[in-house]
Amino acid sequence: MKKAFISKEQAEAIAREYPTPFYIYDEKGIRENARAVNKAFSWNKGFREYFAVKATPNPEILKVLLEEGCGFDCSSMAELVLSRAVGAKGADIMFSSNDTPVEEFVYAGELDSIINLDDLTHVDYFIENNIPFKETMCCRFNPGGVFKMSNGIMDNPGDSKYGMSEEQMAEAFTKMMEHGVKHFGIHAFLASNTVTNEYYPQLAGQLFELAIRLKEATGADITFINLSGGVGIPYTPDQTPNDIAVIGEGVHKKFDEIMVPAGLGDVAIFTEMGRYMMGPFGSLVTRAIHEKHIYKEYIGVDACAANLMRPAMYGSYHHITVLGKENEPCDHLYDVTGSLCENNDKFAIDRKLPKIDMGDLIYIHDAGAHGFAMGYNYNGRLWSSELLLQEDGSVRCIRRAQTMRDYFATFDELPVFNAIEDAIEESGQQ
C-alpha cells in the first residue's frame, strides 16, 4: 500500500495558504534517496549521478540535489541556464541533446560542461560552425535492434531517434581526436522505467564490452561510461521497488568481470536518473469539486491533465489516496477527471476508491518527476504552485502559482493588451 508523505490535516493547513491544486515535494525523502544512490556506487571512485533536469526543473530542487553531490543532465538552453544559476559549473553539467541549435552547443562549451553528441553528423556540425571541441567529449550509443531482458522488459532502440551505431562511434572518436579531444565518454539509454534490479547491470555489461572494442579500434582514452536513466519506480502498489544497493553491486560485478581485466579499472561510472531520483518524492494534491452519475461514476477535481499529463498522454497509472480515508474500504468505482475539453483528461479510470465526498483532498502519488515539468496551458488552465516540505516539517513555496496576468503577458506588445488587463480586473482574477 502506498502511503502519502503528508496527512489530511497537513494538506488542509497547506491549502489554506496555497489553494489546490498544488505540487508538494519531500525534501527528507529526496536527500535520503540521493545518499542511497551515492552509497550504492561508492565502490567507483569517479561515480556521479547527473540528475535529469527535465524531470523536475525547479531551482530549489536542483539546489538540494547539488548539495547531495549530484550534477545535472541538461538538454536545452533553459536547462543549462537553470543549472548555472543554482551554482553548477564545469563537469557538474552534462549536456545531452539532439537536433541541437548552434547557440546551445556554444553556451554548453562556455560553461565547460561535458557535451554528449547524439549523432556522427554533429562532429562535422562542430567543425562547420567553428564550435570548439572540449578536451573531454561524450557520444551516445544506439545498438539498434530490440533490447530485451530476461524478465520480459523490452524496448526498441532500432526505432529510436537517439544515438550512433558502433561504427559511427568509432568514426566520431577518431575524428574528434584529430581535433584535439583527449578523453571520451560513452552514453546509452535502452529501456525506460524498468522496475527490475537487472537493467543497469545488463546495460553496463554491454557498454563495458563496447568500451573495450572502441578502445582497441581507435586508441581513444575512455574515462567514463554513463548508464543514463531508465531505472524506474513502482507506480502501482503491487510492484516491488528497485533496490539501488543491489543494482549498484550488480554493476560492480560486471565492472570487475569486464573492465578491470581489460585495464580499464579507473573508468568512472555516471548515472542520469530523473524518475528514480524524484518520482516518489513529489505529489499532486487536488480537491474533489464535482460528481457526476451517468453511465459511470465520475469525480471531478480542480486539477487537470494540464497539471499532470502522464495519465492522459501515456495511459499511465498514478496511485490515488483520498486523504483522511486511508483505512476506509475501496468499494466505489470512479473515473477521476479534470476540466479540459478532452475525454482523455482522466487521472484514473475505473479505479476502486473509498467513497469520495465533495471537498475531499485527492493525493496523486509519484508525480515528482515528469509531472509539473510537462505542464501546459491548454484551455487557459494555469500552472499550479510548487511547495517543498522541508526536513523540519515546515512548508515553503518554491514556485508560485501562475496568474492570469502571467498567462497573457506575452501579448503585452499588442493593442489588445489593455483590454485584456481590463477583462482580468472584471473577472476578479490576478
Instruction: Supply the residues annotated as catalytic.
Output: 341
Distance CA 234, CA 392 (A): 27
Half-sphere exposure (Cβ direction) of 71: Cα atoms closer than 13 Å: 23
DSSP 341: S
Half-sphere exposure (Cβ direction) of 181: Cα atoms closer than 13 Å: 31
Q: Facing residues of 183 across strands? A: 136, 221
Site of grid cell 490515488: 320
What SS3 state is found at 282?
strand
Q: What is the CA radius of gyration of the chain?
A: 23
And the C-alpha cell for 366?
509519484
Distance CA 290, CA 359 (A): 9
| C-beta separation of 183 from 202 below 8 A | no
Q: Distances in Å between the alpha carbon of 158 and those of 144, 155, 191, 200, 430?
A: 4, 9, 12, 19, 49
Phi, psi of 181 (to 5 degrees): -75, 130
- Sequence-separated (6 or more) residues with CB below 8 Å from residue 288: 299, 300, 301, 356, 357, 358, 359, 360, 361, 362
Q: Which of 322, 153, 303, 126 is nearest to 242 (CA)?
A: 153
Strand pairing category for 361-364 and 114-117: unpaired
Query: Helical H runs in 275-316?
Result: 275-278, 310-314
| C-beta separation of 186 from 232 below 8 A | no
Distance CA 386, CA 344 (A): 24
- Sequence-separated (6 or more) residues with CB below 8 Å from residue 291: 297, 298, 299, 300, 356, 358
E strand map for 169-267: 183-187, 221-226
